[in-house]
Structure formats: structure tokens, C-alpha cells
Amino acid sequence: MPGQPATQLPELDPEELIAQVRAYNPKSNAKKIREAFYYGMKMHDGQFRQSGEPYFTHPVAVAHVLAEQRLDDASIVTALLHDTIEDTKSTYQDVEQHFGHDVAELVDGVTKLTNLQLSSTESKQAENFRKLFMAMSKDLRVILVKIADRLHNMRTIRHMRSEKQAQKSRETMDIYAPLAGRMGMQWMREELEDLAFHVLNPDARASIIRRFIRLQRESGDVINKITTDIRKELDKAGIEADVFGRAKKPFSIWRKMQEKDQPFSRLSDIYGFRIVTHSEMDCYRVLGVIHQRWRAVPGRFKDYISQPKSNGYRSIHTSVSGRDGKRVEVQIRTRQMHEVAEAGVAAHWSYRDGVRAENPFAVDPVDWLAALTERFGSSEDDDFLEHVKLEMYSDQVFCFTPKGEVVKLPRGATPLDFAYSIHTRIGDSCVGAKVDAVRVPLWTRIKNGQSVEIITAEGQSPQATWLDIVATGRAKSAIRRRLREEDRERFIRLGRELARVAFEHVGRKATDKALKTAAKQLSLPDADEMLARLGSAELAARDIVAALYPEARESGVIEASRAVVGLDHGESFQLAQCCQPVPGERIVGISYRGKGVVVHAIDCHALEEVAEESSRWVDVQWHSGKHKAEHTVSLDLTIANDSGVLGRICTLIGEQKANISNLQFMDRKPDYYRLIVDVDLRDVEHLHNVMLMLEADSDVAEIRRHRDLARAP
């Protein structure tokens, strides 16, 4: 049995941790925790962190984080040992011998997660995400330890090198924070996001904190005032409840500013209040009291008690105009619901008074994992990462079938997502939808409580444009699969034509032998598969040519008159002036009498007028390859009215190899003026580079892409 290490570290004492665990679990195995503590200390003896502290302070801190969530002994012991197999001479067999098979499996699982490079290239990242979910499926406590490990690393990140700080923070923001949120540990998600935000955008975070301080100085203690107001109203109604208030985290506020495109001064719901009651009935009584006293904000009510989230979260959310007209968010829940809201899926392992907590709202981890991963099974590797991120970031809306059955969808879902959530066959044959009995376009975003009816027709099949409409991984996967199946022959024919043109550009012929050799170079099974991918825009013609003739990669520039493919032989096209699509953007063709096909960007509002006329829609795409800088885009610029500014702006555009074809002044002010600049560009990347360069100039107050519906055909 492991004993105490030869080198004692007096500041590390197992009794403090044991006392913390015994406070919620008096029957915990103190001896086992003490043995793990001294074993880990011995194994890490002589190792130090970047801060100069003994390395073992980190596993101890992770154990304390898990103890705060009242987790079981195995999780606490695993936290103390989680780096021993990876960073010390200890082995799996040593851990198993001293602490049992379950702990050894957990420690081994955490070690494997630590070695996954989740922020690597996308293909590798998708593969590693699969491994992460496999580890989670064996025992969810593995990821609980790993998230606690990441939390402490982020709390002490200032001691790392700056580039390492940035890499860890991006990984935290992209993966660990949303995963913690998806598991229901909202407090942990918020802290992880804010710690990462501190590294990735310190100026923005500091600015928000300064504004908070100034707001408090001007308005006084708003939280205390509103909390007192709520308590008075509850006392009048004879309802016993605890009321807590807090200002939202800087990152949460910054995200709202970005989503709503509003400055800090225009944000109203920067304060949140939580009311914890004794019973579910009291939750609804509290809701009535709140709405009677303050005016409810339309569209901001969510009842997660009657429709819980998949991770077990239950609560009522509402926003009201409180004291002095300030908008505040109020969450109402019972004590048991609150415990699940704090611990999420981890509530399954929580202890109270020495026994596993019997919380009726704690979700079974097996059921939660099944719900999270059921839609990934049929996904191909290139779709998997996209699906996982969609699922982790999703918030839910609840809508209804015409028969009143509830359907859960992520925020931003459309009727097409609804159709595919019912059955793949319903989605594939969808031709229209009604929301609350009103016919709507398929790209309409569904809101909470709406009733959705799907209109189907025999012979209908998915359109490629649907991929830009749907929001769920399940729908995207089903559409891609059906498109591959039904359109394979068409894609092969189109791919063969694209290959022929691409080879001719470099003075070669796309013979069967050449195509077969190119497919082999690209590690594809045969030429037909390569051509099908080329025709479906999954593969670029330039990559096929470059597989055989690398020196030809940069040769051949595509004229604007040949920029679009997918039209019938001899059919003419023109680019829509309302949305001004450029190569690299998703496009769709609309046939107009006397005008041929007009090519629009997929998000052009002019498409709403022809949403019901599917016969006029033409599936087109940009010719793969390098395009000439002949695609005009109008930029709306607000710049300082100062000498030399306009000349410098024109110079910046010219330095990006972009030509200014027109310039129109829209509004003149003493200090600023607004103008529309028409710029000729190659593609969407060229556009991005020009806008980025202009946005970085200190005299450019605002820049955006100008789109004019009045110029629609």
C-alpha cells in the first residue's frame, strides 16, 4: 500500500480535502482518499508547474473542484491521480493494484483525453472528437475530471507562454466551455468562457468591466434594489423563496453585443435574478407575481419545467422591465431543479448526507449520452465535427406537430429541420411548410411554442440549397446522403465536363487514364467517385489537375463570362445586382423571362418573392479555379472627413490588387462622411482581405457590404 513520500510538502494536506468531501458524504472512504493523495504526491515529487509551485498542487485543486460538485470518492481519487500515468513512472497496473479497476480505468481515460489534440486540423479534430465521445460513453466521469482539470489550468494560465495561452483559450472556448454547458454545468461554462475571453480579447473584457463600474457609480447597487423589490412582492403573496441576483459575465455581455450589434449602453438585460422555491407549484405562483408586478418582455418566456432540456435542466425563464425600466432576466426553479442546474449531468453522482442524492430531475448519463450521440452514428467523418459543434452550442426551442406532439429543435432551426426530425422520408419529400397555419418559406426560423405543419409531395427530392437552410446535423447529413445517392450520375456528368475544361486550360486532355491516375493520387477509390465529388463541389477541379500537373496549379484564370457552371448548353446568365454574388459564396440561379438565368447569393432577400416557384430555381455553382478580378461589390464606408483620408483609402484598396470602378458620396457631415465604393474583386477571399484592411484603418468608422433590393431583377 502506498505510503507518504520521502519529500514532505507541508502546504499540501489531505485532511482539508477529506473534510470537504465528508461535509456532504460522511460515509466517504477517507483512507482511500488519503492514500491517493500521498501516492500522487510521491509520484509527482520533484515536478513543478510553470508558476514554480509543486506540480501536485494542480491535481489537488482539481479534486477540490469536483468536491464542490459533491462527487463520489472514485471521481475525487481519479482527480488526485489523473496525471500519474502520463507524467510519472506510475503505470496502469500500479494504479489498478492500489486503487482498483474502476479508478485505473478512469485515470487511463483522462490520460487518453489529455493526449487528444482537439484543436488540430479539422480532419484530425473530427477523429479525436469521436475518441472523446467514445471515452465519455464508457464513463462520463472521465470528462467531468477533464473539464475540472481544464478549469484549474485556465485559472492559472497566466504562467504559460503567450502562444500556449492563446491555443488553450481557443480550445476552451470552442470545445470545453460548450461541452460543460451541454452537460448542464452552466456556472463552469461561464467561468471557462470568461477566463478564455480574458486571454483572447483582454481589451474588450476590460472595457466591459469599466462600463459596469461606471454604471454602478451612476445607478447605485441595482442588484440589491431589485432583489429587495422581488422579496417584498413574494412576501406579500406569502411565498417562501430564496432570491439571488448577479451581473452577467463580461463574455456573456460581449456576445450579446455582437449578436445584437448593439453598444453596451443599449443592452438592457445585463442583470440576472434567480428565485429558488420549495415546490413546482410555487414556481408558477412566483411567475404570476413577477408578471403582475412588472411588464413581461414579449418573446422572452421559456418554460423548461414542462419541457426540460435533454441534460435534465428545468427552470422557468422570463424577462421583465424592472426598476427604472431596466430589463432583467428572472429564472424560477425548485431546490432540486437548482441542484441539477448547478451540477448538470454530474448530479447523477452527487452525494448528500452520505448517500447518493435521489434527485428526480437528475438525468441518467447513459440516456443523455445516447440522446447526444444518436445522430452521429451515420455521419461521415467530414460531417462529424460540424454535427458535434452544432449539438454542443445548441439551445432548444419547443414546437408542436399539428397533433400537439412536442418536437425539440436547436435555436435557429427551420421547418426543414422539423421535417427531418420527424422522419427522413418527410424531410426528403418536403415542398412547403405552415407555421401557425400560415404558409412560410422553408428558411423561416421556428420560435418557441409554434405549431409546424409540413407539406410533402411525391417525386420531390432534396435540393443542394437546403444545406444552407437547415441548422441540425441530422438534417445536413440526410440531405448530403440523399444528394449523393440521387444526383451521383448527374454529378459525374457535370464533374466530367468540369474536368475537361480544367484540363484544357493547361493544354491537356481529361482521358480515362488521366482521370483514373488522378483519383489514385487523391486516394479516392475510382475516377467516378472523383468526378462525383467534383460535380457536387466537394472537390475542386484545380486539385485534380494539380494531382497530375503540380506546376499548373496557378495557371488559367477564369473569365467572368464563364464563372458559373451548371447551366444548359447555350443558356446565358447574369449576376444579380441586388446581392452582387462573388466566387466562393453559395449561389442559386433564378430563370427570368427574357433575361435568362440570374444568379443570386443564397441569402439574397429577393429570393423570397420566388420561394414558391421551385420550377424557376436552377442549381448552379462557381467554376472552380482562379477568377479574374471582374466581380463588382459595393462597399458602404463611413470615414473621417479629414485631408488625405479618402486618398489613403483608395490606396489601400489598390494595394490589395482591387480596382475601384465607381465612387458615390451618400452623406456628408462635419467630421465624417459616408460613401458607396464599387470594387472589382476576384472572390470572397479577396473581398474579405479588402474589408479587413479597411476595417483596420483608424479613420474608417464603419464598413459593410452594400446590398440594394431596388436593383433586383
User: Which sequence positions are flagged as catalytic?
Assistant: 86-87
Q: 381, 394, 392, 413: which is closest to 477 by C-alpha?
A: 381
With vertex at residue 609, the alpha carbon angle to CA 604 and CA 615, rounded to the nearest 5 degrees, is 100
Q: What is the DSSP code (8-state) at residue 174?
A: I
Calculate Rg over the CA atoms of the chain.
30
Residue type, 338: H
Beta strand 573-575 pairing with 596-601: parallel
- Cα(695)–Cα(135) distance, rounded to whole angstroms? 44
Q: 79, 57, 86: which is closest to 144 by C-alpha?
A: 79
Show the cell assigned to 301: 418566456
- Cα(214)–Cα(236) distance, rounded to whole angstroms? 34
The crossing angle, in degrees rounded to 10, of helices 512-521 and 541-548 is: 90
Show the cell assigned to 612: 414558391
- Cα(342)–Cα(336) distance, rounded to whole angstroms? 10
3-state secondary structure of 575: strand
CA 683 from chain center: how many Å?
A: 26
3-state secondary structure of 627: strand
- Cα(610)–Cα(604) distance, rounded to whole angstroms? 11
Phi first, then psi: what are they for 440, rounded to 5°? Answer: -135, 160
- Cα(116)–Cα(625) distance, rounded to whole angstroms? 35
- Cα(98)–Cα(39) distance, rounded to whole angstroms? 9
**Is-contact 334 278, C-beta < 8 A?**
yes
- Cα(113)–Cα(143) distance, rounded to whole angstroms? 8
